[in-house]
Amino acid sequence: MSRQPLPQQQALLGALCRRLVRAIAEETKAELAAQGFGDVRPAHNAVFALVAGGVGRVTDMAAALGMTKQAVTLMVDHLEAGGYLKRAPDPDDGRAKVVRLSRRGRAAAAVSAQTAARLDRRWEQTIGRRRLDECKATLAELVDAAAGTARRQ
């Protein structure tokens, strides 16, 4: 089955990526709400992923996300107020705090991860495993190139 080419503006990679990210965010938000986590926004998933991966200081999260410490603090405050995160003294630095996922935070993060896995399965059914793997590899190269880290040939 052959598709008609997209109009020039819609065919730009950035425009297509924005549309895909928006669709992913909407589906994730809807699934979180359906599971009782309606106050979690897709942007919070980045905080969940960092905390689950062992990044517990707000300053480290800000650096990893390319955001200001103040912006990350607002997200952490919101998630802590919702019962998703807990702050505790940093065992390596008495002046600092570390952020940990609460039981509720782990549950919300699991819903987001399950939604992402379901989307991957849907895309695999749509375009096949080989094409999906190629798409992921290509997008990873483009992300590296956009960040200026692509290998120079």
Provide the whole-model pTM: 0.80
pLDDT digits (tens, 9 = 90+) for 113-150: 999 999 999 999 999 999 999 999 999 999 999 888 65
Distance CA 97, CA 1 (A): 56
Q: Which of 1-5, 48-52, 94-98, 126-130 has the lowest mean pLDDT?
A: 1-5
At which residue do the structure tokens 């003294």 appear? 89
Residue 101 host element (H or E)? strand 93-101
Question: How many angstroms from the chain centroid is the CA of residue 7?
Answer: 29
pLDDT digits (tens, 9 = 90+) for 38-71: 999 888 999 999 999 988 899 999 999 999 999 9
For residue 122, the domain's CATH number is: 1.10.10.10
Mean pLDDT of 69-95: 93
3 in a structural domain: no
Angle between helices 13-34 and 103-127 (to 10 degrees): 130
Range of the domain at 102: 10-146
Domain count, the chain: 1
Cβ atoms within 10 Å of 49's Cβ, excluding its own: 15
**List of residues 6+ apart from 68 with CB closer than 8 A:** 62
